[in-house]
Structure 1
């Protein structure tokens, strides 16, 4: 009898998965532990492995189709059994494609076909809509760009890197001049809106934010931090050819403040308050598809250089959707930094099951009062969001006060 291969649950928030690519075809022999398919979850791309030896007899869920966790995606015959004569993939339980739009007019169809990026030899290039638009606007031949997204998909950063390298559009073939009439209002087509299905990541973000914001009673505490000393530490590290950013200093300071005020290192699970024994700090990383928070484990015990290296490695693998579930789950508190976008101040929504999140703005020169005199200092605004069911205002205020002390006197981060 054929054994079903079920859609596995590869992360705590996963309810369905999308098959990006089958690595085996019907009739192939497989061994236990061998990769069968590439799967897109809500957070990363992972491989599905076989648990038994045998022959891939049938594929139920085809490429670019989704299925709920636990449902069969293929069938495997035992070792020595016979496979089906030919693959007969059935429709997926939940296709990811949106409903077919109304067929466009012939002129619109011709325009669409002409604008679709095609590589040499007629091979269609896989690229995100944003990447296509940027390439078209900048006159870049997208077929010359190597994609770094899932399954080699060309994404925004690939286009930007190609432009930085100076990749140019192919020279247009000479043609005889053609007289053109000026377009009239009747002949100019208005650009139509387009729709696309939510990605797996964006679906989970939408679901969790909808549940958290009405369900978790947030309160917010804001203060300003003088960052002159912290910036000086970063400059001294740079002079020693060490890559330490202001954000790395913030992560270290947050971890030490959590260690010194453990009442903020809690989460609510049912009717139990969990007091975490370690300090694990999440880092919000923006992706083209949404947001993910890789976690720096035991951040309070690590030096600035170690934190800097780990943050960069995790962020890079997050952008490649290559993180393992244990690398982005759990955590004591999350740091969300939008300072690099020029944002002065914002409030963030708590990332469950955590009970707090720190929103950090830009470090900027401001006029402040010191000893009755107006002086210019490098200031940063930090806003702490807390779950009021298990954290009170006084606890949050003590934590923020300690955080400010650590950042304004960063030598304390060494002890």
Structure 2
């Protein structure tokens, strides 16, 4: 009996997806575990594996198709012994019956009598000519006036027959397409000079369809800014001790093929801070406040076409070498679209580092249902007061974004204070 291959639900929130690419073709034999297709979900592009054995008899949904609902039959597999050529596609859904019966045909009623309208003034006649029958971009109209080009004699090459700048340039050189006498409109008055501002609508551009990931990012960020009252707290952190510790640790860890990044230490610092200030390690859902017993840090990673946040789970209890190794693996697989669902869904708080781009400071948008995100700026050499004297130090600006429904300003400030202390005295996070 033929097997219907259905669009899978690759995440709990997935309702539809894009069938990005078929990895098999009709007539191919497949076994359990074989890769069949790449499915683009609202989070990432994931591979879809076969469960059954057989031959791909028919592919019903072409690759590149958007908005394929979960459960839709996308292909049919013929089992062993079946003739793949005889397998029929699943029947199409029955068309929805019309709500109301078609109206009975009637003789057309005579058109109503319309009183004659008063003649148009000269400016109104020009407007009627411009918008009603002759489509001209404002820039093309202005150039035509400057170059004494008769617009009525031209055939527009723009959208909907609109006369654009290129048509005026071609007319000046004698190469523009000219309307036949039958096609030339006969306006009641010559076009009057327009005072419209110069605005050429014919700017060269390209368009591309939004990916499922980009649509989801747009929707979630819009919801976050509309529904979450953000409060932002910023402070400066001296990084010299943290950078010195990193260099000392790397001198040993590099022998094992491990190289700590500054971000690895900041992930650890945020996780330890959340455990010390549990009022910020929370999530608000409806009328309930959840307080988490461990700190799972979602780390923003830029990938092709969007952003994804793989998670370092229980980061406060992990060594820096373990965080570094895990983060590198997660980031590499995130960029390749190979993350598993549990590796990027969840998390109790987020960290977003744009310091590598030289960004001094920024305000990050909270990733719901989380209640906070830490935005990390670049470490820069700046004048800084140390022991009552002005010296040069490496300073990093950090901004915490907090959901004010769940986290009070004082609690957010306490978290920022602890985070600063751990970064400026980094041995404290290793204790």
**What do the CA deviations read for 1:172-209 (whole angstroms, capped 9, x no partner)?**
xxxxxxxxxxxxx979xx97201000112111101111
**1:8 Cα deviation from its structure 2 partner:** 1.2
**1:39 Cα deviation from its structure 2 partner:** 1.9
**What do the CA deviations read for 1:194-239 (whole angstroms, capped 9, x no partner)?**
1000112111101111111101111111111111111111222343
**1:20 Cα deviation from its structure 2 partner:** 2.8
Moved more, 5-14 or 226-235: 5-14
Moved more, 302-311 or 268-277: 268-277
1:7–1:73 contact (8 Å) kept in structure 2: yes
1:27–1:84 contact (8 Å) kept in structure 2: no
Q: Tell me the distance in 2 between the aligned counterparts of 1:285 and 1:266.
A: 22
2:2–2:87 contact (8 Å) kept in structure 1: no
Partner of 2:209: 197
2:76–2:89 contact (8 Å) kept in structure 1: no
Q: Taking structure 1 as reference, are residues 29 and 244 closer, same or farther at Cα in structure 2, changes over 3 Å only? A: closer
Q: Taking structure 1 as reference, are residues 327 and 318 closer, same or farther at Cα in structure 2, changes over 3 Å only? A: same
- The 5 A counterparts of 1:199-348 are 199-240=211-252, 241=254, 242-348=258-364
Partner of 2:369: 353
Say which SS state the counterpart of residue 316 (structure 2) adopts.
helix
- The 5 A counterparts of 1:95-106 are none
Q: Taking structure 1 as reference, are residues 90 and 246 closer, same or farther at Cα in structure 2, changes over 3 Å only? A: farther
Q: Tell me the distance in 2 between the aligned counterparts of 1:291 and 1:204.
A: 10
Q: Taking structure 1 as reference, are residues 90 and 290 closer, same or farther at Cα in structure 2, changes over 3 Å only? A: farther
Partner of 1:98: none
Q: Taking structure 1 as reference, are residues 374 and 19 closer, same or farther at Cα in structure 2, changes over 3 Å only? A: same
**What do the CA deviations read for 1:273-326 (whole angstroms, capped 9, x no partner)?**
222222111111112311111111111111111111111111111111111111
**1:391 Cα deviation from its structure 2 partner:** 1.1
- The 5 A counterparts of 1:4-403 are 4-66=4-66, 67-85=68-86, 192-240=204-252, 241=254, 242-403=258-419
Q: Tell me the distance in 1 between the aligned counterparts of 2:353 and 2:13.
A: 24
Q: Which runs of 5+ in 2 are unaligned?
A: 93-157, 161-171, 176-201
Say which SS state the counterpart of residue 272 (structure 2) adopts.
helix
Moved more, 398-407 or 239-248: 239-248
Say which SS state the counterpart of residue 212 (structure 1) adopts.
helix
2:366–2:373 contact (8 Å) kept in structure 1: yes
Alignment of 1:410 with 2:426, yes or no, is yes
**1:27 Cα deviation from its structure 2 partner:** 3.9
Say which SS state the counterpart of residue 24 (structure 1) adopts.
coil
**What do the CA deviations read for 1:351-381 (whole angstroms, capped 9, x no partner)?**
1121110001011111123344222221111
**1:30 Cα deviation from its structure 2 partner:** 3.7
Moved more, 356-365 or 313-322: 313-322
**1:394 Cα deviation from its structure 2 partner:** 1.3
Aligned length: 326
1:363–1:378 contact (8 Å) kept in structure 2: yes
Q: Structure 2 length as normaliser, TM-score?
A: 0.69
**1:78 Cα deviation from its structure 2 partner:** 4.8
**1:29 Cα deviation from its structure 2 partner:** 4.1
Q: Tell me the distance in 2 between the aligned counterparts of 1:13 and 1:59.
A: 26
Say which SS state the counterpart of residue 378 (structure 2) adopts.
coil
2:27–2:55 contact (8 Å) kept in structure 1: yes
Q: Tell me the distance in 1 between the aligned counterparts of 2:22 and 2:87.
A: 15
Larger radius of gyration: 2
Q: Tell me the distance in 1 between the aligned counterparts of 2:88 and 2:24.
A: 11
Q: Tell me the distance in 1 between the aligned counterparts of 2:266 and 2:90.
A: 51
Q: Tell me the distance in 2 between the aligned counterparts of 1:308 and 1:323.
A: 17
Q: Tell me the distance in 2 between the aligned counterparts of 1:209 and 1:273.
A: 22
Q: Structure 1 length as normaliser, TM-score?
A: 0.72
